[in-house]
Amino acid sequence: MNQLRTGLILGYAWMVMAGSGSAATLTLNDGSRLEGTLQKIHEGTVYFETGFAGLLEIPQAEVSGLESDGVVNLRTEGGEVFRGTVAEENGRLAIASSAGTVETGFEEVVSAWQPGGVDPVVAAREAVLESQIRRWAYTAGVDISGSSGNTDESGFAVSGQAKLEGPTDRLLLYGNYAYEEANGVRSKDEQKGGINYTNFFSEKMGWYVREELERDTFEGVDFRSTTGAGLSYRFIEEERLSLEGNAGVSYRYESYIDPGLESDGFPGLDFGLNLNWQFADWGRLVSSVSYLPSVDDFGDYLLSHESGINIPLGTSEFWVMRFGIKNDYNSSPGPGRDSLDTSYFARLMLTWD
């Protein structure tokens, strides 16, 4: 039993030592020498772990030599990869590989890494390819509201979204349904769905096309189709903050439930603004505004706005609660309808990819 315990301890100690890398010595241009562990060399920088200063990032041009007691992987400018211990001979690196000793200049080394690791050049290439892959992301949400007393109100809404996004384009599919009653009388019955495609031909500028279909029986709209196209612009594109706007032309077609009202079409403009701000680890602000004025009469327009705070339920954004407000304004509503429709919501969302 004692022999087994001793063997396990020695085996564990060997794995710890092997995982920490082999001892190495760097020689700098001024003749000074650093003792430690070579972590990697990548893009002209030597990453060297020392016991007195931790991980140092030293420009490769300031290093003249390298010695290593253990095996190191080295890639040269010619694309050749050598694996072995390293010594200095006549101002050059002598790599004792399985194929024999190979000499090269330190300035000819483009990357280095520890055994069992990944070539930094290969890792960088894979990261670039990974960033260029389009990925689907999905969101499903449900709102439930109600009150009792002087006014008995109840309502619910369901929504879904699928987004395919890459570094230069984005495809968005979405749909939602909302229903509300107040004192037994319907106060909202809205179905909406759409598709939006954006393609960026430069870092900031792109173009978009979109189509949205809607039916709102409470407003008396049997069918509404909004088609838009124009230019998109990324005002801000950062890791925690993005602001994107669009401007273009649109065509809105409406038919009504009331047989006495004729269907109508409205050529117009199409403006939008979308904000996504991770203002804290626990909260994200998501806001969107769209404005569709008619070309024939700028006093005839639709204005939509939604803002909400996303709060993750846990350590990831798999389950999220969104608390927000939504406004829909129609400057020319149907007979007996209000221009402004405002709702406050608490939405439970499930996000995955």
Q: What's phi and psi for 151, nearest 5 deg?
A: -130, 125
Q: Provide the domain limits for residue 20.
A: 2-130
Which token pair is 134? 């389009």
Which residues are registered as beta bridge partners of 214?
A: 192, 224
Residue owning tokens 């429709």: 341
Spatial neighbors of 184 by CB under 8 A, at least 6 apart, are 152
- For position 151, what pLDDT does the model report? 55
Same domain, yes or no: 29 and 170: no
CA 43 from centroid of its chain's CA atoms: 26
Spatial neighbors of 139 by CB under 8 A, at least 6 apart, are 159, 160, 161, 163, 349, 350, 351
Same domain, yes or no: 204 and 324: yes
User: How many structural domains are present in the chain?
Assistant: 2
Same domain, yes or no: 126 and 148: no
* DSSP H or E stretch at residue 103: strand 100-104
Tell me, what DSSP letter sits at residue 299? Answer: T
Report d(CA 101, CA 106) in Å as an integer: 15
- For position 121, what pLDDT does the model report? 87
Domain boundary among 130, 155, 190: 130
Same domain, yes or no: 23 and 54: yes
- For position 248, what pLDDT does the model report? 97
Task: Report the candidate in 145, 80, 87 with the shortest Cα–Cα distance to residue 108.
Answer: 80
pLDDT under 70 in the chain at which residues? 1-21, 146-152, 334-336
Domain boundary among 100, 130, 160: 130
Domain boundary among 78, 97, 130: 130
Same domain, yes or no: 209 and 121: no
Tell me, what DSSP letter sits at residue 60? Answer: G
- For position 17, what pLDDT does the model report? 38
What is the CATH classification number for the domain harbouring 87? 2.30.30.100
Same domain, yes or no: 10 and 119: yes
CB 292: neighbour CB atoms within 10 A? 21
Same domain, yes or no: 158 and 284: yes
* DSSP H or E stretch at residue 221: strand 221-237
Same domain, yes or no: 192 and 264: yes
- For position 15, what pLDDT does the model report? 38
Same domain, yes or no: 314 and 166: yes
pTM: 0.67
What is the CATH classification number for the domain harbouring 253? 2.40.160.40
CB 309: neighbour CB atoms within 10 A? 16
Report d(CA 109, CA 70) in Å as an integer: 18
